[in-house]
A and B are shown apart, each in its own frame.
Chain A
Amino acid sequence: MKTVIIMLTGLALAGLSVDNARADAAAGKAAFDANKCNECHYTDGPAKEKTIDDVLAKKGPELWYAGSKFNADWLGGWLADPKPIRLLAYNSLKEKNPGDHPKLAAADAGSVRDFLMSLTSGDVEAGKVKAKKNPKGKLIFTKKMPCSGCHQYPDKDSAKGGISGPSLVEAGVRLNPDWILAYLLHPSVFKPVKDMPNFVGLLSDKDMLNVSRFVASFQPDK
């Protein structure tokens, strides 16, 4: 009898927790819309881009899988105090990033974070990638499939690499390591049209794992 009561109490608490999470996400969606985030970012998947024009028409990245892509702590902090992730303005090869992404008030930042973290993709398998520097991943990143040509990365005391893609200097803080791998494995799910090569069929699953672990190891000032 005692066991049954404990189990029922546990189930009730779990139910309350799910309800609370849903309520937080709903409040976050309201804050997302009230702050006009939806004017630049879409949050309903799957991916909508079918042509280059579709990509170039966007004002900001899609967020329909944000909960699988970002680390929650980083996301909450960034929404309250955004710093440029790209050196160039979104979808531009000419203009510098003006660094004018709107800041959210602390309460809204937490609320919007909860909403965005509720948006997940079934194509991201949890627990697959552990951040770790490794020579095979580094070789792929810097030479074999030269990610470094378009993405900055931390190298000793400075940032190196190209600037057309998002900076990966803080990738280990910003990104979920499992998403990095999923993005390489399933490019057509997350970005069906993008100015980065598809590596499916070119890199083995093991190579993709190694490069994901390497990218996930990037920390600022390390």
Chain B
Amino acid sequence: MKTKHIIFTVALVMTAMVGTAKAFAEDTEKVFQFYCAQCHGEKGDGLGVNVTKDFPVTPRAFNNADEMNKLTDADLRNVIREGGPIASKSEMMPPWGKTLSEADIDGLVKKLRDLCQCKGKQG
């Protein structure tokens, strides 16, 4: 009976995970280079390979402390999770909340603060 219960619980959790963000954290630098660098650049300077003449906005340069200081950590977390429009930013920043784990997003916020060498707006 106990075994059946465990199998049922595991199956339920696996079903709930389909189509949702992965549950474990990857190395933050790998996450940044894999997901973010294509638009924000490998150095986070906003000069990713997708920024062609057709790209309608300039992606955030994470090494720009003045701009990054306008955002709280919660703002950064929300934009990564929900996409640019959640903070009145560009739609070109898509929502990654169904792709990245919460731990991945926490790691990215720290990485962005390392890049800007700033603490951000305190909220």
A interface with B by C-beta (< 8 Å): 51-53, 55-56, 88, 93, 143-146, 148-150, 160-164, 186-188, 192-193, 195, 197-202
Mark contacts of B32-72 with chain A using CB atoms, 8 A cut-off: 1 yes-contact digit, 0 otherwise. 00110111001000001111101100000000000000000
Q: How far is the CB of B123 from chain A (nearest CB, A)?
A: 25
Q: How far is the CB of B12 from chain A (nearest CB, A)?
A: 16
Taken together as a complex, chains A and B put the C-alpha atoms of A143 and B92 apart, in Å, by 7
A-B pairs with beta carbons under 8 A, tally? 78
Main secondary structure of the interface of B (DSSP, over half): loop
In the complex, 27 of the A-B residue pairs with CB atoms within 8 angstroms, ordered by the A residue number, are A52-B31, A88-B49, A93-B48, A146-B91, A146-B92, A146-B94, A148-B54, A149-B50, A149-B55, A150-B39, A160-B54, A162-B51, A162-B54, A162-B55, A163-B49, A164-B48, A164-B49, A186-B19, A192-B22, A193-B22, A195-B38, A197-B94, A197-B95, A197-B98, A198-B19, A199-B98, A201-B19
Q: How far is the CB of B52 from chain A (nearest CB, A)?
A: 7
B114 contacts partner chain A, Cβ-Cβ < 8 Å? no
Q: For residue A188, which residues in chain B have a CB less than 8 angstroms away from its CB?
A: 18-19
B interface with A by C-beta (< 8 Å): 18-22, 26-27, 30-31, 34-35, 37-39, 42, 48-52, 54-55, 91-92, 94-96, 98-99
Q: How far is the CB of B96 from chain A (nearest CB, A)?
A: 6
Q: How far is the CB of B79 from chain A (nearest CB, A)?
A: 13
Assess A201 versus B52: contact at CB under 8 Å? Given A52-B30, A143-B91: no
